[in-house]
Structure 1
Amino acid sequence: MTVEQWDVCELRLEGPADGNPYTDVRLGARFQYRNRVVDTDGFYDGDGVYRVRFMPDRPGLWRYVTRSDSPALDGRRGTFECTPARPGNNGPVRATGSAFRYADGTRYLPVGTTCYHWTHDLDEDLERHTLDALAASPFNKVRMCLLPTAEMAPPLIAFAGDTPGQLDKTRFNPAFFAHFERRLRDLLALGIQADVILFHPYDRGHWGVDDMTPEEDAFLLRYVLARLSAFRHVWWSIANEYDFNHAKTVEDWDRLGRFVQRHDPYQHLRSIHNGTKMYTYERIYDFSKPWTTHQSIQHWDASLTGRWLAACGKPVVIDEIGYEGKVGRRWGNITGRTLVRQFWHGFAAGGSVGHGECYPAQDPDGAAWISIGGRLRGDSVERIAFLRGLLEEGPDDLAAARREGSYLLEYFGDHQHAYREVTLPPGADYRVDLIDTWNMAVTELDGVWQGSVRVELKGRPDMAVRIRRTG
């Protein structure tokens, strides 16, 4: 057997199907390459089938041996050859300083969107529309939920059962996970990271998945980690709007975050997402805690990105800043221009900002993009693509480049300046470009500049200046 580096090696084993294999049988395996040893959990996949998934991170010969309290599954040995990663396979994303890189060192610039429950209705046509829209978009990360909300009646749920309040939380539904995994593989083929939201506060006791016991939480997490952690493009969001869930405390979320950290053999990116009463208060998580790898923030003002970076130093991802659309909720009716402005504020300061759309009345699929995906309709998408293109021409770590004075983006937002005097870092020559962020145009100013430059803006809003050190 051969497996590509950072791809999935899967062992399929047959074992006991009587009783409750989810609780009665423990399975794992030890994988070894030379002196590197990785232990990983296995899982029951129904019908007497057990699986162990592993993501090898070194080319060469790997050996494995299974461990189980079931004699039929214990002590199974074998080898496989891990081949070097092919082009386009850069490994999992890691946080490095205030930015991100793939495991092979390639830069990763997160430009995300939100489709909370696009996989839950099992609507293959709608899911294909979503994937086609993503393929044509600038988005390379998708936030998506594992568990249903109170308003949903999905055909399948992660746990066994289909009756609200009566799910069997000692058993899982392999068919649900098989479908979820097919969509994960589709995202991987598109080069899109899957930011999997593990818990949320929107069930309100209906299905019984937002107020589970600590033991039930850990039971779910261990199974999900065993099934999904071998996919290199997975991120873990411990919760969406954690502070809106009144059944759990900050101590509970810390416990769950540490649990994921401890049981994920590959140390995928981990964070947790706050709720915010828009324009009233913020409740940002304490991202200095060691189990978090980056800052996943909800806030209405991306110009604060520099403050969050200075306070913590971990990468800032404003996963929710408000959604472009026309719904009656404060978070879902900002204009495309407003969203683009927030993207520019956040990225210019060295962070990243996430997209979402709420145009249900205009969508023949009947619901908003943030809910079930479908088609992208807003004015912001092509402008976000323009911004991503500009950023990919620049340095890997924009915040670090700003500190050292080699590359700066100065963004003026909705201000309508006649001109701006921009002070350049001393002791170097600079090229200066004027950027019309809404009309997607770049104009290079003549000459090489030192000290300061007067940029004529002529009362136009949505303008930015790009400053690049020459040589």
Structure 2
Amino acid sequence: MKKSFLLGISFLFILSFGLMAQEQVERWNRVELSYQTAFKGNGHQDVAFKAIFVHADTTLTISGFYDGNQTFKLRFMPTRLGIWKYTTQSNVPGLAKKTGTMECIAPSHENHGMVRTNSSVHFTYADGKTYYPFGTTAYAWNHMGAELQQLTLKSLQKSRFNKIRMCVFPKNYDLVKEEPILYPFVLQETKRDAQGNEVKVWDYNQFNPAFFHQLEKQIDALQSLGIEADLILFHPYDKGRWGFDAMPREVNIRYIQYLLARISSFRNVWWSMANEWDYVKSKTIADWDELTRTVVNADPYRHLCSIHGATATYYDYWKPEFSHVSIQDESPVQSPNSAAMLRNVYHKPVVLDEVGYEGNLKSRWGRYSPETMTHLIWNGVIGGTYVTHGESFMFKDHRDTIFWAKGGRFIGESWKRVGFLRQLLEEGPGPLNLSDVSRDNITSSGGKGNYLVYFGKQIQEYWMFNLPINNGAFGKLTAGTRFRVDIIDTYGMTIQTLPEIFETGKENDYRFFDKDFKKIRLPEKPYLALRIREIR
């Protein structure tokens, strides 16, 4: 039996009295136990293999998986500090009654654990650090060649994105036609249909470990960059080319269970049940409900889980299996109020994972200007939600490296502005919420005495200093409060601190103006914001 302790794991050797070494692993890091043994039948279906991990106050059941070459593996992510003991169970003698212990130690500075919602409308890491999802989209980057995959990772490293939407299965679409090198199942045969087209026939009883090795390698690479992998488990962009969008029910369930046995111990994964679920004609809502329950039941750590539909197609996101809302709809980010209303309906974090893309495509969803893409993201954030970026530039034909589909280099401009916005939020006291919801559609706050005012497309010469008396959960503003103001050019990415000090006067119809009714001279351009911070 071989044990590998991955990602920053150390060992403590106890030398006295002949005791064995006590293995140590950081909290939320991954432990892999590997066993080689002879068995009869199909290692993917005929072998039952799991382990019970026991802590003083927690017990987790971890499913094992067959990795080919008579090798079975278990992967475990400790969630509690202290000693963990494990015992394996199997119908194969060579895998049963294996025991061991490990000590979970405090995580390193960069290790914040999984992202969670904690019954909030925002996200945090497991250690309590606020997580602001500033994601991008590269659906099939993991199915491109090694050179393009490395280029994608280098581009992500230069950006400030901390989430990426990506597909497990390969994609067959007008703008991405490349044949993948690896497939999730073993190829049984290749034949021709009546029209002479090549048809691949899969052995759905045999997973291809090499396919999953590649996926795991890239998830780990993303983790090293601080990026969450929002994995799309199913999608409709197959159209009979491989048949992965129309597999039998029992194959879908086995696929989910195998995938989660392999990667639920990776702390930087999210589950997206589907992209445009309503376009997958082989599945009903009842099917999606069953598959979602399968994911949740197979995940001992309860990673984030949602489902994504076509434009303005909303699933029943109130269901307890869904940790957050993932939607395709540009309407809610036409103003911060609309975004805030959507969040207040679901009482869960809202990620508008597709509002359109910066690019030059003929399709209207793929030809936003960089200013528009940036503006929609700002609207969503001011409203207390989050918006996923993407870009889709094509200069010749579908063989172009379009980041939205294949990864590669960022060609547009909005990705830089997303990084600037993320920096602003992370410098603030906390996630944003409209200060006076439904009454004020430009003023948001992340804490007492801290405001962001976003003017959007509006161009004006002056703005009279004023703030709402209400500030959500942070209490009401009072007279005599002093503030300093920064003018932010959200597209130019500049911050100008004004020398004047502003002080609230008497309350006037639920608002406070400066006691001397001071005005702020604004640059006459769109996409400006003000950062207003109390002087204490």
2:315 corresponds to: 285
TM-score under structure 1 length normalisation = 0.94
Q: Distance in 1 between matches of 2:530 and 2:64?
A: 52
2:11 corresponds to: none
Q: Distance in 1 between matches of 2:527 and 2:452?
A: 13
2:98 to 73, 76, 95: 76
Is 1:256 aligned to 2:291, yes or no? yes
Shift of 1:468: 3.0
1:101 to 124, 135, 160: 124
Shift of 1:365: 8.2
Q: Distance in 1 between matches of 2:316 and 2:465?
A: 35
Q: Is contact 1:111-1:354 (8 Å) kept?
A: yes
Query: 1:399-410 residue pairs with structure 2 within 5 A?
Result: 399=433, 402=444, 406-410=449-453
Q: 1:34 is aligned with what amino acid?
A: A
2:386 to 352, 365, 371: 352
1:306 to 331, 335, 340: 340
2:63 corresponds to: 41
Is 1:214 aligned to 2:249, yes or no? yes
Is 1:62 aligned to 2:84, yes or no? yes
TM-score under structure 2 length normalisation = 0.83
Shift of 1:2: 2.4
Q: 1:447 is aligned with what amino acid?
A: I
Q: Is contact 1:98-1:397 (8 Å) kept?
A: no
Could you give the per-residue CA deviations for residues 370-413 of structure 1, whole angstroms, max 9, x where no partner exists?
Answer: 11111111111221111111111113221277477643322222
Q: Distance in 2 between matches of 1:341 and 1:286?
A: 28
Q: Distance in 1 between matches of 2:248 and 2:463?
A: 57
2:16 corresponds to: none
Change (3 A) 1:286 1:468: farther
How many pairs are equivalent?
Answer: 465
Q: Distance in 1 between matches of 2:406 and 2:521?
A: 44
1:387 to 421, 445, 451: 421
Shift of 1:26: 1.3
Q: Distance in 2 between matches of 1:131 and 1:362?
A: 24
2:439 corresponds to: none
SS at match of 1:258: helix
Is 1:442 aligned to 2:495, yes or no? yes
After the TM superposition, which of the residue ranges 220-229 and 182-191 deviates more from structure 2?
Answer: 182-191
Shift of 1:364: 12
The percent identity for this pair of structures is: 42
Rg comparison, structure with higher value: 2
Could you give the per-residue CA deviations for residues 339-380 of structure 1, whole angstroms, max 9, x where no partner exists?
Answer: 011111111111111111112328998320111111111111
Q: Which runs of 5 or more residues in structure 2 are unaligned?
A: 1-22, 191-198, 436-443, 470-477, 505-511
Q: Distance in 2 between matches of 1:82 and 1:365?
A: 48
Is 1:460 aligned to 2:528, yes or no? no
Report which structure shows greater RCO (CA 8 Å, sep ≥6).
1
Q: CA RMSD in A?
A: 2.1
Q: Distance in 2 between matches of 1:329 and 1:448?
A: 47
2:179 corresponds to: 153
Q: Distance in 1 between matches of 2:402 and 2:113?
A: 32
SS at match of 1:161: strand
1:205 to 237, 240, 250: 240
Q: Is contact 1:165-1:205 (8 Å) kept?
A: no
Q: Is contact 2:39-2:92 (8 Å) kept?
A: no
Q: Distance in 2 between matches of 1:440 and 1:241?
A: 34
Query: 1:421-436 residue pairs with structure 2 within 5 A?
Result: 421=464, 423-426=466-469, 427-428=478-479, 429=481, 430-436=483-489
1:176 corresponds to: 211
Q: Distance in 2 between matches of 1:47 and 1:32?
A: 29
Change (3 A) 1:350 1:422: farther
Q: Distance in 2 between matches of 1:307 and 1:417?
A: 27
Could you give the per-residue CA deviations for residues 268-312 of structure 1, whole angstroms, max 9, x where no partner exists?
Answer: 011111211xxxxx1122211111111112112313211111101
Shift of 1:456: 3.5
